[in-house]
Structure 1
Amino acid sequence: MTIEIYIATLAAGLIAGAYMLGMLAWSAVYPEKRTWPPEHATKGIKFRVWFMTILIFAAAFMLGVLDWNRFEGPSTIRWGIGVPLIVIGNIAVWNGVFKIGMDATSGEATGLKTDGLYRWSRHPQYVADITILLGWGVLAASLWALPVLAIGFAVLAVAPFAEEPWLEEVYGDNYRSYRMRVRRYI
Structure 2
Amino acid sequence: MGYLDGGRIDPLKIPMYVMGTALLASGVWLCLGALKTGRLIKHIKERKLITTGVYAWVRNPLYTGITFIVTGFIFFENNLFLLTLIIFFWGIMTLSVKSEERSLEKIFGEEYRSYKLKVNRCIPFFPKNRSL
Output the TM-score relative to the length of structure 1.
0.53
Deviation at residue 147 of structure 1 after TM alignment: 5.0
Counterparts of 2:103 and 2:65, CA distance in 1: 21
Deviation at residue 181 of structure 1 after TM alignment: 2.3
Aligned to 1:89: 27
> Aligned letter for 1:119?
A
Deviation at residue 168 of structure 1 after TM alignment: 1.0
Deviations 1:49-86 (A, max 9, x none): xxxxxxxxxxxxxxxx6546722244321222211211
Quickly say closer, same or farther: Cα 1:116–1:145, change in 2 above 3 A.
same
Residue 31 of structure 2 contacts residue 62 of structure 2 at CA under 8 Å; is this kept in 1?
yes
Mapping 1:1-186, distance limit 5 Å: 67=4, 70-101=8-39, 103=41, 109-110=44-45, 111-186=48-123
Residue 129 of structure 1 contacts residue 156 of structure 1 at CA under 8 Å; is this kept in 2?
no
Residue 27 of structure 2 contacts residue 65 of structure 2 at CA under 8 Å; is this kept in 1?
yes
Counterparts of 2:120 and 2:12, CA distance in 1: 35
Counterparts of 1:67 and 1:153, CA distance in 2: 21
Residue 72 of structure 1 contacts residue 141 of structure 1 at CA under 8 Å; is this kept in 2?
yes
Aligned to 1:13: none
- SS for the counterpart of 1:165 is helix
How well do the aligned residues superpose, as a CA RMSD in angstroms? 2.8
Deviation at residue 138 of structure 1 after TM alignment: 1.8
Deviations 1:66-118 (A, max 9, x none): 546722244321222211211111111221133233647xxx93431100111
Residue 73 of structure 1 contacts residue 141 of structure 1 at CA under 8 Å; is this kept in 2?
no
Residue 67 of structure 2 contacts residue 90 of structure 2 at CA under 8 Å; is this kept in 1?
yes
Counterparts of 1:118 and 1:146, CA distance in 2: 28
Residue 49 of structure 2 contacts residue 108 of structure 2 at CA under 8 Å; is this kept in 1?
yes
Aligned to 1:59: none
Quickly say closer, same or farther: Cα 1:100–1:73, change in 2 above 3 A.
farther
- Deviating 4+ runs (over 6 angstroms): none
